[in-house]
A and B are shown apart, each in its own frame.
Chain A
């Protein structure tokens, strides 16, 4: 049991380390994500600076920024493997579930950073008042996990297609719409919108994120050898 767990752990950590090392060479992925988040918040600020936006619209804009930033930047982890022709290497040295988990964990960290950046900028620049920081944080956290795991598997599925970058974004956005919908409800509630059971939204989002985290590796292991 212990040796099995340690071999899993070492494979996942190896993938995670590789992701971090290749990212740290140029910081391209993190910089791109941060730039998209920053520019998006500035655009929202520039179109709303003369007006006060209500909680629901504010929450909608917040999640739109997150989901589009994620759909552009997160599938990159798998797409790059195909581009650099290193995907076969992983097929030789690691189990598919471990590869998925390593990349998903990297994407979750990246998404959490993006969520943090967007949240801080949004609160400062778009002037929305957060009434409940706990629900705001929990909604962001569960949303980031769901978005990262879904975008990871979308990237994995699209990685062998001819137009992989466009396709991965086109595939991940519809799959994320439900999470976004829940996220908007929870965030709007934390901004003060009166919504029945809005405070329970993070529970549903956590349930969804667990489901996607469980299904993702199973689906990936099936397309792994193609």
Chain B
């Protein structure tokens, strides 16, 4: 399974990129050749949205179970989401400059994503304020649940409010306006980015859980099979 995933990513990502370059230009763009940035821009907010939702779910699981591994999962999901938010913003800013003439257009979706960034930036700032891991995990989980509400409003409601004028088209895919080669490349890259995201998320959360186990070495000894007969004791000296 891992080999298949590695092969897919190693071969699939370059092939999908080449396919994206070779596909016929899209109509309705000022510079159609640069509109291909869409292939990489589009999966980023979707991945970020999915990861932030997963982060909120893991936070809820932590609150219910008080199992630290859920906190690690929530933190990993939110960290990865921040990377995708940054990629969304960067690719969006370039797209905006090329197609709409300015790096920042005050577009509602640009603005709402920036607001989501500030909310989750404060999540990470909050985590640094607690030295006790249990308090950190619990309060971070509570904040993540509180942040989920404005996040949902900002992502799904705010850009669609009737008084909001939007440069981003609404419902392009739902209306079937994404067709032909563009649709194929979008789906290809979407699948590959999803696989990549899942892989990176698993790596990050597994590393976090391992770190947790190393920090709680005593607990690990009690719960995970045979232990050494003699505990490791290090000499310490206190200087005058």
Interface size (B, Cβ < 8 Å)? Answer: 30
User: At the interface, is chain A mostly helix, strand, loop or mixed?
Assistant: helix
Known: A175-B147, A177-B150. A198 touches B130 (CB 8 A): no
User: Which of B84-92, B118-126, B199-207, B232-240 binds A?
Assistant: B118-126
B115 x A178 contact (CB < 8 A): yes
A174 x B162 contact (CB < 8 A): no
Interface size (A, Cβ < 8 Å)? Answer: 36
- Tell me which residues from 146 to 183 in chain A have a Cβ below 8 Å from any Cβ of chain B: 150, 153-154, 157-158, 160-164, 167, 170-171, 173-175, 177-178, 181
A222 x B142 contact (CB < 8 A): yes
Known: A157-B142, A178-B154, A223-B142. A211 touches B149 (CB 8 A): yes
Q: Does B38 contact A (CB under 8 A)?
A: no
How far, in Å, is A192 (CB) from chain B's closest CB?
15
A223 x B119 contact (CB < 8 A): no
Q: Does B33 contact A (CB under 8 A)?
A: no
Contacts of A178 in B (CB 8 A): 115, 150, 153-154, 158
Q: Does B183 contact A (CB under 8 A)?
A: no
User: 1/0 contact trace for A71-109 toward B, CB 8 Å?
Assistant: 000000000000000000000000000000000000000
By a beta-carbon cutoff of 8 Å, the part of chain A in contact with chain B is 150, 153-154, 157-158, 160-164, 167, 170-171, 173-175, 177-178, 181, 185, 195-198, 201, 204, 208, 211-212, 215-216, 219-220, 222-223, 226
Closest 10 CB pairs of A and B: A161-B129, A174-B118, A174-B119, A196-B163, A197-B162, A178-B150, A222-B63, A223-B142, A195-B163, A219-B142
Q: Can you name 27 A-B pairs with beta carbons within 8 Å?
A: A157-B126, A157-B139, A157-B146, A158-B129, A158-B139, A161-B129, A161-B130, A164-B129, A167-B125, A173-B118, A174-B115, A174-B147, A175-B119, A175-B122, A175-B146, A178-B153, A181-B115, A185-B163, A195-B163, A197-B163, A208-B149, A215-B145, A216-B146, A219-B145, A219-B146, A222-B63, A222-B138
